[in-house]
Amino acid sequence: MKKLNELDLKILRRLTVNARVPLRNVAEGENSSRSSVNQRLQRMIENGVITGLKYHVSPKMLGYNTCTFVGVRLERGSLYKEVAALLERIPEIVECHYTTGPYTLLIKLYATDNNDLMRILNGTIQEIPGVTATETLISLDVSFERSIHIPNQPPQ
């Protein structure tokens, strides 16, 4: 993969703030052509720098009032791929991380309320073969969310 340069980083910085900004505006702001910006974006998509373009939907507006982080312990760490594949089938789970520390997996999920959370935990996650324990942390509020920091200089 060709390394990122300063113009790539400027483009990324502008688009992570607002992905809906027209490429014409990005190009004008960076003294570049729209086709050049488009080519750079395509290259970054092809090289995995940009992993997706999507809208962020408010879970609460869809009735998901409980955001929860669940630490999952497995019989053996080597089961993580199998268990992660089963967890991926649960639509309320939005993230799953293979971790070090006290949990094998750390997941983030949304439930409509505490009864729904109990259904997901007791009736689904804890029934997966290899899951030995879960520990649940309920998020009371989101203080902030942001995209990853984009440096001014390309990585060496």
pLDDT surpassing 90 at residue 156: no
The verdict on 70 and 116 lying in the same domain is: yes
Confidence category of residue 126, pLDDT binned at 50, 70, 90: very high
CATH of the domain at 92: 3.30.70.920
Q: Six-digit token pair at 102?
A: 């006290």
pLDDT surpassing 60 at residue 1: no
* pTM of the entire predicted model: 0.85
User: For residue 33, is it within any domain?
Assistant: yes
The verdict on 73 and 121 lying in the same domain is: yes
What is the predicted pLDDT for the residue at 54?
83
User: For residue 31, is it within any domain?
Assistant: yes
Our count of domains for the chain comes to 2
What is the predicted pLDDT for the residue at 122?
97
Q: Tell me how far apart the alpha carbons of residues 43 and 47 are, in angstroms, rounded to a whole number.
A: 6
**Contacts for 81-86: CB closer than 8 Å, 24+ residues apart:** 82/130, 83/128, 83/130, 83/131, 86/128
The verdict on 73 and 131 lying in the same domain is: yes
Confidence category of residue 125, pLDDT binned at 50, 70, 90: very high
What is the predicted pLDDT for the residue at 56?
86
The verdict on 67 and 131 lying in the same domain is: yes
CATH of the domain at 14: 1.10.10
User: For residue 107, is it within any domain?
Assistant: yes
User: For residue 91, is it within any domain?
Assistant: yes
The verdict on 75 and 130 lying in the same domain is: yes
**Residue range 113-137: mean pLDDT, rounded:** 98
User: For residue 82, is it within any domain?
Assistant: yes
Q: Which domain holds residue 29?
A: 6-46
Confidence category of residue 109, pLDDT binned at 50, 70, 90: very high
CA dist list (Å): 150 to 7, 8, 16: 12, 10, 9
User: For residue 81, is it within any domain?
Assistant: yes
The verdict on 90 and 117 lying in the same domain is: yes
CA angle at residue 148 from 145 to 152, to 5 degrees?
135
pLDDT surpassing 60 at residue 37: yes
